[in-house]
Structure 1
Amino acid sequence: MANQESTAHEQLTTEISNDDTERKQKIIDLKIEGNQQFKLGNYEEAIRFYLNGLDICLAHDQDDDDNRQTMVILYSNLAAAKDHLQLYDEAIEYCDKALAINDSHSKALIRRAQLYRKTDKLDESVADYNRFVELNPNDKSILPIIQELKCQIDERNEKLKAEMLTKLKDLGNVVLKPFGLSTDNFKLVKNPETGGYSVDFQKNQ
């Protein structure tokens, strides 16, 4: 009886092992085919293969480290394909899914940083690039990109500030007109040390 139970257990273990091997090979085959289609520029076909691979992964144990790492790669590949189709928001979502599994995956970080930049989400882009630098301190190639982005952010903020001040000035003129005043009676003076502003009142000439 004991021998029969042992034999049955060995057969079941072998079947599970064989099923697992077949599953992994199927995912590998789908990923390879997706990569080939990607290289040919057939991005929609590549997406189909990557998604089929993901379906198999999602049907398996989500706590399996190898399975999770495969999912990260497939999500990242999907993001790349969506990027080439200029479906940037969808590409970002796939990067989010990859990084939700492994927040240190450098390729997904770089890809999302690039996508954020394309969609004018400059602050988010800098954050991802900075995270990449933290993970790869010896890679200096990203530093000029970060500096360029910071300059773009400063320019954007100054432009927004100027637009806001213009709107406030127009509103102020409406409020002050009944009193014979305008915003020209009030001069903004910038403090070069703090970057803040003070208001000086000037009488009408």
Structure 2
Amino acid sequence: MEKEIKKIELIASDDEQFEDARAISDESSIDSKKEAEDADKFHECESNVIVDDESQKDYEKNQTDEEREQARLEALELKNKGNEEFRKQNFKKSIEIYTDALRKCPVICQDERSIVYGNRALSKVKLDLKTEAIDDCAKALEYNPKYVKVLLRRAVLYEEISMFDESLDDFKKVLEIDPGNIDARSAQLRLPTLINEKNEKMKEEMLEKLKDLGNMVLRPFGLSTNNFEMKQDPTGSYSINFKK
């Protein structure tokens, strides 16, 4: 299953300039120490990669059509530079450049912004910044809800952090757009079992906590939860009976 997940992880952006990223595999000689250092540096300057779409939208209200078009072209140029840094495995640098592209690209250019957010998400994946990558995938999907490659990327990330319900939801959305998608079909068979296992584990943990709480309450009376028997009926409900 792990190899299956990694294969999907490397799906690149719909941007033709970025398709070469597919050639980069997890078996390439990436310096893991450098990767970890880049991730640390990213967290140190995380505020530098925040993009405020609403403030940007307000700023752009006073721009002319010509100014917006010029900004769009400059953003595309930055995006291409970010792609080059990604190919060279300078993932932290690519994140910074994609951020500059997002700050430059007019909010009205939804397709372009969606692609850049998707590209930045992949750079964050390479630095193992999974939560941050999920956030960027969400932004990309705000601008383009049918962005299949980003839906797949987020689905994989959700699965890797054990958010199986969310992962399955994204895979289902992929199938609505692309009914023949093999990865999504495979996930529909795999994830329900993982969801059930997680729910059972959560139920067991909850019952243990309730048992500890019950013992604390019953202890002054010389009793414990061992004096009670819990039975589950066919409906899934529980009944508690006192054992003498």
> TM-score with structure 2 length normalisation?
0.65
Q: 1:135 aligns with which of 174, 177, 184?
A: 177
Give SS of 1:187's match. strand
In the alignment, is residue 88 of structure 1 matched against residue 155 of structure 2?
Answer: no
Give SS of 2:211's match. helix
Deviations 1:123-154 (A, max 9, x none): 22222122112221122331222332322222
Other-structure match for 2:120: 78
**Structure 2 gaps, min length 5:** 1-64
Other-structure match for 2:10: none
The AA in structure 2 aligned to 1:194 is: T
Other-structure match for 2:110: 68
Determine the C-alpha separation between the residues in 2 that align with 1:17 and 1:84.
36
Other-structure match for 1:154: 196
Deviations 1:90-133 (A, max 9, x none): 21221121111122211221112222223332222222122112
Determine the C-alpha separation between the residues in 2 that align with 1:53 and 1:170.
54
Give SS of 2:181's match. coil
In the alignment, is residue 200 of structure 1 matched against residue 204 of structure 2?
Answer: no
Determine the C-alpha separation between the residues in 2 that align with 1:104 and 1:52.
25
Matches within 5 A, 1:17-166: 20=69, 24-58=72-106, 62-63=107-108, 67-166=109-208
Q: Give the total of aligned pairs.
A: 180
Identity of aligned residues (%): 39
Q: Structure 2 vs 1, CA of residues 179 and 114 (structure 1 numbering), >3 Å: closer, same or farther?
A: same
Q: Displacement of 1:43 after TM fit?
A: 1.0
Q: Displacement of 1:84 after TM fit?
A: 0.7
Q: Displacement of 1:27 after TM fit?
A: 3.6
> TM-score with structure 1 length normalisation?
0.76
Other-structure match for 2:35: none
Determine the C-alpha separation between the residues in 2 that align with 1:32 and 1:177.
68
Q: Structure 2 vs 1, CA of residues 184 and 137 (structure 1 numbering), >3 Å: closer, same or farther?
A: same
Larger relative contact order (Cα-Cα within 8 Å, sequence gap ≥ 6): 2
Q: Displacement of 1:194 after TM fit?
A: 2.1
Determine the C-alpha separation between the residues in 1 that align with 2:138 and 2:68.
30
Query: More displaced, 177-186 or 98-107?
Result: 177-186
Determine the C-alpha separation between the residues in 2 that align with 1:37 and 1:158.
44
Q: Displacement of 1:164 after TM fit?
A: 1.7
Give SS of 1:103's match. coil
Other-structure match for 1:5: none
Determine the C-alpha separation between the residues in 1 that align with 2:101 and 2:175.
31
